[in-house]
Amino acid sequence: MQVKPVFLLDTGPLSVLCGFPRDGMAYIHTVLLYSEIMLPDNVVSEIQEAQTGKIARVVSPLLKTGAITSATPVNDPLILDQAYNNLLGLGERGAIKAALATGISMVLDDKDAFIVACRFGLRPIGFQDFIIQLKSNHGMPKSTAVEIVNTTSRQYPAAFLTHTLSLLS
């Protein structure tokens, strides 16, 4: 039996997975068949504070059952909060801190957060590349990956769709 990889998600990619259905279920349920999902505590706090909305309705039960886990808060590196507190939200900074502390692959869709994560030596991946990895390395069927990418494509620049579909071929 193959061990599922763990990915750390920020609020943006999480929102995409919760906002689009497949057979009446949010895509996050499909993705959980091929990977483990960990959320930074700041993202979990945002979800719990909202208490309503699509993300909260989908993710809260998954957190309660342990299908999705959360990353323990860390304060280091302090420069992340000092230098980037006006540029990045708490969830993005929490995702970067958690990735630094755990070494888990991080999925981001915010350009500034992506750049900052790279400055800290991380190698974040975008949402579409996350789906490509699940298809290429972790058993997600091509048809499922193509469906997710096509359905969520309006969230990303049009040129990305053409390239992503080529990579999935």
Q: Does 131 map to a domain? A: yes
pLDDT value at residue 31: 97
Q: How far out from the chain centre does Cα 91 lie?
A: 11
72-111 confidence digits (pLDDT tens): 777 788 899 899 999 998 889 999 999 999 999 999 989 9
Which residue range forms the structural domain that includes residue 90? 6-168
Interval 49-63 mean pLDDT:
85
* Residue partners of 112: CB distance under 8 A and separation at least 6: 87, 88, 92
Q: Does 14 map to a domain? A: yes
Domain count along the chain: 1
Task: Select from 21, 34, 29 the least CA-distant residue to 65.
Answer: 29
Q: Does 56 map to a domain? A: yes
Looking up tokens 């096509």 gives 150
Q: Does 60 map to a domain? A: yes
Distance CA 103, CA 20 (A): 29
Interval 140-168 mean pLDDT:
93
Q: Confidence class of residue 48 from pLDDT cuts 50, 70 and 90?
A: confident
Task: Select from 78, 70, 82, 81 the least CA-distant residue to 14.
Answer: 70
Instruction: Give the global pTM.
Output: 0.92
Average per-residue pLDDT for the chain? 91
58-71 confidence digits (pLDDT tens): 999 999 999 999 98
- CATH number of the domain residue 128 falls in: 3.40.50.1010
Q: Confidence class of residue 35 from pLDDT cuts 50, 70 and 90?
A: very high
Q: Does 143 map to a domain? A: yes
- Of 135 and 52, the structure prediction assigns the larger pLDDT to 135
pLDDT value at residue 77: 87
Q: Does 1 map to a domain? A: no
Q: Does 149 map to a domain? A: yes
- Of 131 and 157, the structure prediction assigns the larger pLDDT to 131
Task: Assess whether pLDDT exceeds 80 at residue 1.
Answer: no
